[in-house]
């Protein structure tokens, strides 16, 4: 075994625990994404209609605290005062298109997250096999980039279509400051997509140079 081959083998062995950690964490992340998707779906879609969180004008309210139970039974609780900023509204007259759009938002977000996890796991697996600069790695990076970009844009469009339908059914017009948060998240996603695109370009050029060098040898 040559010195270079032995050195590469040792580096691959040192990389193996990190790759397996990423793969295990990827499985846990995939389970978490599916769990969040199911929980979110159930929170919106109830047997009586669509449950929607609607922002309202600030209002001071007082309500009875949750009943506590001890060894001797129910314990009386003091009233709780606070400021009401949102309410959960049951929408029973939502049109089918907006209903489908709401379901599509949740499903697309789930698939986008799973796409990112699978592609990242695939890249880690190619590293484990010693293929750092390969067509497979380049395709995975490109798939990850396109998946995040298309998934984010589709989820954003479907969410706003569903929100417009809910506002039409309730005959209200929401003026929530949460729009700034939406744009902040999409700025972060755009940065990630652009960074991955730059990485894909660099990887493609490295592969091209490698092929040119191999052709000269």
Let me know if residue 63 belongs to a domain.
no
Task: Give me the pLDDT at residue 30, please.
Answer: 93
Average pLDDT over residues 33-45: 94
Q: Per-residue DSSP letters for the chain? A: --HHHHHHHHHHHHHHHHHHHHHHHHHHHHHHHHHHHHHHHHHHEETTEEEEEEEEEEEEEEEPPPPEEETTEEE----EEEEEEEEEEEES---HHHHHHHHHHHHHHHHHHHHHHHHHHHHHHHHHTT-SSSHHHHHHHHHHHHHHHHHHHHHHHHHHHHHHHHHHHHT-----THHHHHHHHHHHHHHHHHHHHHHHHHHHHHHHHHHHHHHH-
Let me know if residue 67 belongs to a domain.
no
Q: Which domain holds residue 161?
A: 3-54+92-216
Let me know if residue 212 belongs to a domain.
yes
Please tell me which residue, 103 or 216, carries the higher pLDDT value. Answer: 103
Let me know if residue 153 belongs to a domain.
yes
Please tell me which residue, 162 or 214, carries the higher pLDDT value. Answer: 162
Please tell me which residue, 134 or 143, carries the higher pLDDT value. Answer: 143
Let me know if residue 13 belongs to a domain.
yes
Task: Give me the pLDDT at residue 131, please.
Answer: 66
Task: Give me the pLDDT at residue 28, please.
Answer: 93
Task: Give me the pLDDT at residue 3, please.
Answer: 47
| Predicted structure pTM score | 0.75
Could you read off the pLDDT of 79-90 as tens digits, one per residue? 888 898 888 889
Let me know if residue 186 belongs to a domain.
yes
Query: Mean pLDDT for the chain?
Result: 80
Question: Could you give the percent of the chain with pLDDT greater than 70?
Answer: 77
Please tell me which residue, 35 or 53, carries the higher pLDDT value. Answer: 35
Let me know if residue 64 belongs to a domain.
no
Let me know if residue 60 belongs to a domain.
no
pLDDT band for position 107 (cuts 50, 70, 90): very high
**Total domain count, the chain:** 1
Please tell me which residue, 126 or 66, carries the higher pLDDT value. Answer: 126
pLDDT over threshold 50, residue 141: yes
């Amino acid at each position: 075994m040559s010195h270079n081959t032995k050195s590469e083998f040792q580096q691959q062995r040192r990389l193996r625990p990190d790759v397996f950690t990423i793969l295990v964490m990827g499985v846990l992340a995939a389970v978490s994404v599916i769990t969040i998707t199911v929980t979110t779906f159930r929170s919106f879609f109830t047997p009586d209609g669509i449950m929607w969180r609607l922002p309202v004008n600030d209002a001071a309210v007082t309500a009875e605290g949750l009943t506590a139970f001890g060894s001797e039974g129910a314990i009386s609780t003091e009233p709780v005062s606070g400021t009401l900023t949102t309410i959960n509204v049951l929408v029973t007259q939502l049109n089918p298109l907006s209903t489908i759009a709401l379901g599509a938002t949740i499903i697309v977000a789930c698939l986008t997250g799973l796409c990112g996890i699978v592609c990242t796991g695939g890249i880690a697996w190619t590293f484990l096999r010693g293929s750092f600069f390969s067509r497979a790695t380049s395709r995975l990076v490109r798939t990850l980039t396109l998946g995040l970009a298309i998934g984010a844009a589709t989820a954003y469009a479907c969410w706003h279509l569903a929100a417009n339908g809910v506002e039409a059914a309730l005959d209200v017009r929401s003026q929530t400051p949460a729009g700034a948060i939406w744009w902040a998240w999409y700025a972060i996603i755009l940065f990630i997509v652009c960074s991955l695109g730059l990485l894909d370009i660099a990887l493609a050029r490295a592969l091209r140079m490698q092929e040119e060098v191999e052709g000269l040898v």
